[in-house]
Structure 1
Amino acid sequence: MSPSLIERARHKLRTWNRQWQLRSLRGRMHVDPADALLIFSQPRGGSTWLEEMVRTLPRTATIWEPLDLLNNPPFQRIGFWWRQYIPEDASWPEAEALFADLFAGRMLSPYLTRTSSIGELRAADRLVVKFVRGELLLPWLVRRFDLPRPVLLVRHPCAVVGSMIKFKAWEGHPLRIGTFPHPHQEFIESHRALLDAVRTPEERQAAMWCITTGHLLKHPDNDRLWTTITYEELVLRTKDTLAKVFGAWGLDVPAAALEHARRPSGTTLAGSQVHDPTAQLTSWQRTMAPEKIEAVLGMLDRSGIDLYGPDPMPRRTYTP
């Protein structure tokens, strides 16, 4: 048997073993769903770094990207789209039941628990749930579940789009953002004019940033029913920004979180200048072509979003 076949067999055996352990653990975790800590961001928006700092709280475990429909089919089975929207006052019992299972540790898989060991899951009394496709659900979730204030992490769209293009995970996606029939699809279709204006991959990703993050930035409950922070202030004013996040939960910032802030996250791309904050925040200005920056900022202008412009820092502060 070739080494590659041996390694594949070992990987399959490890996966089966973990699936068996998770099945035995499902429904027996000792987490309080009312203590779940929710983090919302864009892909490549810095959520892994923040999640790793939050995970320094004792007895926590992470649920990873539960709205990845290919890797977590239960939400797909009830009709979710990739960027599902639910009106704040809507009743969707099936969705509510799935989120209740999620927050209670009754939805476990090797993918969802990829950053937590079985021992950490067994010992956990609260879950950290990280979303990069869930922003449009946030106003509905905070009205349906009594949770600690979720966190919305916002990052300059040029940095997000530049990182997404560099990461290459979104290569091959069609420029036109189509949708399959799904509940409440009238929301995304209300933005059809913006979506139909897309001509480049950068504009495609920027349009989704504007539709999802922009929806929350314009929401009257922004930074009221959830805690809004910016990635840029998290980088430059880490202690104060974390104090806002943990303070809303009635907790002190763990010393380990501040220590972890000095290290790159597990999803940081090689070559990222994480040890030079200024260089890190301005890297998109050096690596993106001017016409691509202009295309991203043009989408912001079309959407009436003024938090970010040609400078790397936000025009308004969210960190006291």
Structure 2
Amino acid sequence: MALGVNSVRKSLSLMLRTVSNWHRPSGLPNVFVFTTPRSGSTWLMELIQSQPGFKCCSEPLDLRVEGVSENLGLDSWEDLYQDESWPQVKAYFEGLCSGRIKFLNQSPFIPFYRPYTKRLVAKVLHGGEAQIERLSQSCGARVVFLLRHPIAVSLSRVETPRLEAFLRSDYRKNFSQEEQDFAWDIIRSGSDLQKGVLDWCLQNAVPLRNLEREWIVISYEELVLAPEPILSRLTTGLDLESPSRLYNGLSRPSETVRKSDQLTADVLNAPMEESKKWWLVGKWREKVDEDSERKAMRILEYFKIDLYRFGDILPHSPLWVGQELKAPPRSES
């Protein structure tokens, strides 16, 4: 009986979302936010969605989201990462941006719901990493590429569903045979933390090796600690119409705060003092000893990613829009 009720609720929700929005592109650019899960992407998407005329599209390539696999015509992560799937992914994104594909429309009961919209901001956490520029060109979109410290991300994640698919699909062609062998060794015998950091590397190494000049590349850490330069860059780079709404949104926690532990949720729901900001970006160190940190960060070194380094909670240049900050060293206690 409960399953039947849940099925009816899902069907009614889908029906409501399908008819609750009228989307007519205005010619202003759409926005694609590419990042890893648990990197502050929902907060960033909600900041952008605060702008007039935007609707959001969350996780359009996550095959676990109801309706994604059916609309894409792809059944597995390996299928998603095959070269031959590109035409389907392209047509699917074009349908989302035009308003033709409606199943990911927002519910009318969430913040910033708008019945009439003209621009789309998509949060892409799974898939498309090797096709970012082609997707943006096909859909008239500007790209925001968001990074967060790989250990912080890995500790916050529950699962890494694409880890082996990265290496079993055509996506593996982005890596040398030595890199692939190294990755399989970690999958077979590494710790959960090392596997999480490996997943971060496999997802982000490809975009980082193919960065486009027009992309807006930012970090979660700078967005928390010193957001003004990032907000200014977003305003000009994305043709945003109401900068004041961006700044007003800084003090509002994202909808995904419910996924955080209670202490983090309490911090996010309270006025944000400077000390709390530093705690947010460095709290992962409370759960990882120095030896585990060193072993995890060696994985980044193997993939020649030096934006984050052992011994530092903050990213390094050029991953700063404003002035690069320096964090205090790890406490000996």
TM-score by length of 1: 0.81
Note if 1:284 corresponds to 2:279. no
Taking the aligned partners of 2:6 and 2:27, their CA distance within structure 1 comes to: 32
Match of 1:205 among 184, 196, 199: 196
The residue aligned with 1:299 is 299
Q: Residues 265 and 292 (structure 1 numbering): CA distance in 2 closer, same or farther, change over 3 Å?
A: farther
Match of 2:93 among 85, 91, 99: 99
Q: Residues 253 and 10 (structure 1 numbering): CA distance in 2 closer, same or farther, change over 3 Å?
A: same
SS of residue in 2 equivalent to 1:271: helix
1:51 is displaced (CA, Å) by: 0.7
The 5 Å alignment of 1:1-320 reads 5=2, 11-24=6-19, 29-32=23-26, 35-71=29-65, 72-74=68-70, 77-78=73-74, 81=77, 84=80, 92-109=86-103, 112-113=104-105, 117=109, 120-134=113-127, 135-147=129-141, 149-164=142-157, 168=158, 170=159, 177-178=164-165, 182=169, 186-187=173-174, 190=177, 191-198=179-186, 199-221=190-212, 224-251=213-240, 254-268=243-257, 269=260, 270-272=262-264, 273-274=267-268, 275=272, 276-309=276-309, 310-316=311-317, 317-320=319-322
**Unaligned 5+ runs, structure 2:** 323-333
RMSD of aligned alpha carbons = 3.2
Amino acid at match of 2:174: F
Please say if residues 308 and 316 of structure 2, whose CA atoms lie closer than 8 Å, have aligned partners that are also in contact. yes
Please say if residues 79 and 182 of structure 1, whose CA atoms lie closer than 8 Å, have aligned partners that are also in contact. no
Larger relative helix fraction = 2
1:252 is displaced (CA, Å) by: 5.1
1:11 is displaced (CA, Å) by: 4.8
Please say if residues 60 and 120 of structure 1, whose CA atoms lie closer than 8 Å, have aligned partners that are also in contact. no
> Which ranges of 4 or more aligned residues in structure 1 deviate by more than 6 Å?
none
1:181 is displaced (CA, Å) by: 6.4
Please say if residues 59 and 123 of structure 2, whose CA atoms lie closer than 8 Å, have aligned partners that are also in contact. yes
Q: Residues 153 and 20 (structure 1 numbering): CA distance in 2 closer, same or farther, change over 3 Å?
A: same
Name whichever of 194-203 and 12-21 sits farther off. 12-21
Taking the aligned partners of 1:265 and 1:47, their CA distance within structure 2 comes to: 9
Name whichever of 114-123 and 205-214 sits farther off. 114-123
1:59 is displaced (CA, Å) by: 2.5
Question: Deviation digits for residues 175-197 of structure 1, max 9, x if unmatched?
Answer: x7256965555336854223212
Name whichever of 74-83 and 9-18 sits farther off. 74-83
SS of residue in 2 equivalent to 1:314: coil
Q: Residues 209 and 179 (structure 1 numbering): CA distance in 2 closer, same or farther, change over 3 Å?
A: closer
Q: Residues 85 and 227 (structure 1 numbering): CA distance in 2 closer, same or farther, change over 3 Å?
A: farther
Q: Residues 121 and 33 (structure 1 numbering): CA distance in 2 closer, same or farther, change over 3 Å?
A: farther
Question: Deviation digits for residues 5-56 of structure 1, max 9, x if unmatched?
Answer: 4xx7665444322222344468x53234763211111010110110111111
Amino acid at match of 1:130: K
Taking the aligned partners of 1:241 and 1:100, their CA distance within structure 2 comes to: 28
Identity, % of aligned positions:
24
Amino acid at match of 2:29: D
Q: Residues 9 and 32 (structure 1 numbering): CA distance in 2 closer, same or farther, change over 3 Å?
A: farther
Question: Deviation digits for residues 173-225 of structure 1, max 9, x if unmatched?
Answer: 69x7256965555336854223212111111121121122122223252xx13
1:260 is displaced (CA, Å) by: 1.7
